[in-house]
A = this chain, B = another copy of it.
Amino acid sequence: MSPAASARWCPTPEQLMILEEMYRTGVRTPSASQIQQITAHLSLYGKIEGKNVFYWFQNHKARDRQKLRRKLTKQLQQQQQQQQQQQQLFQQHLSPGCSFCPIYLDHHQCPASASAFRQLSCYNLPPSPPLASLSYPPQGGNIGGAESRSTMEYNSWRREIIGNDHQKADMEKSVMKMYSGGWMMVVDVDSSDRCPARPLQTLQLFPTTSTNLREDRENATVQPV
């Protein structure tokens, strides 16, 4: 136990603070080169590897979504209860007619819209270098221009790290070249990250749908009809 230090990475407070700050600023799925840069920077504050950064963002994003889902679910259940109570009142005391009354929940709070690209230039650096050239697809190729898909913005960790065995050397070099630019990165805030929850939910008096995730199933209270 005492040798081999620790089996898993244990972020230092500084590292954590920086990661959280980046997350707060919009970083969600950093590309391989971004991860490299982040890792390099964070290693000033303690032992860290690229995969730690990769996993951190993955987990943090997922658990953020989860938290929001939880909140929404709770809200939803409350409203359902309210509705049911209301309905009971209706049926007991008032005239029938409206036994179905959908309610729309709010699009949960989305951070005030951010433009697709935002610059994170923390830690006193030259203000605004040209950004376009830093956008990451580092592999030359693709003259055909026909590849400007959103896939391009996907997490390319695997694509660059796992991939292209025969180009590994070149890739390493291109990543290194990009290092020289210093600490700065292009952040892609895409909509699915800003608004993790289902966009719109219809509430019905008798719940017939759910998100059907494990959590929902477990929290599911049997509704006696």
Please give the residue numbers on chain A whose beta carbons come within 8 Å of chain B beta carbons, in ascending order.
1, 3-4, 7, 36, 39, 49-51, 54, 141-144, 146-147, 157-159, 161-166, 212, 214, 217
A142 surroundings in chain B (CB, below 8 A): 4
Q: How far is the CB of A161 from chain B (nearest CB, A)?
A: 6
CA–CA, A205 and B147, complex, Å: 54
A51 surroundings in chain B (CB, below 8 A): 158-159, 162-163
CA–CA, A166 and B48, complex, Å: 10
A214 surroundings in chain B (CB, below 8 A): 212
Are A162 and B50 in contact (CB-based, < 8 A)?
Answer: yes
Extra A-B contacts (8), CB below 8 Å, given A49-B165, A162-B162:
A1-B144, A7-B147, A36-B165, A49-B163, A50-B163, A50-B165, A51-B162, A212-B217
Are B49 and A164 in contact (CB-based, < 8 A)?
Answer: yes
Partner of A39, one of B159, B165, B212: B165
Partner of A144, one of B4, B49, B147, B212: B4
A161 surroundings in chain B (CB, below 8 A): 161-162
Are A162 and B7 in contact (CB-based, < 8 A)?
Answer: no
11 A-B residue pairings within 8 Å (CB atoms): A3-B143, A4-B141, A4-B142, A49-B166, A50-B162, A50-B163, A51-B158, A51-B163, A157-B162, A161-B162, A162-B162
A217 surroundings in chain B (CB, below 8 A): 212
A210's nearest neighbour on chain B, judged by CB, is B217
CA–CA, A50 and B168, complex, Å: 12
A149's nearest neighbour on chain B, judged by CB, is B7
CA–CA, A134 and B98, complex, Å: 72
CA–CA, A163 and B157, complex, Å: 12
Q: How far is the CB of A119 from chain B (nearest CB, A)?
A: 26
A166 surroundings in chain B (CB, below 8 A): 49
Q: How far is the CB of A101 from chain B (nearest CB, A)?
A: 23
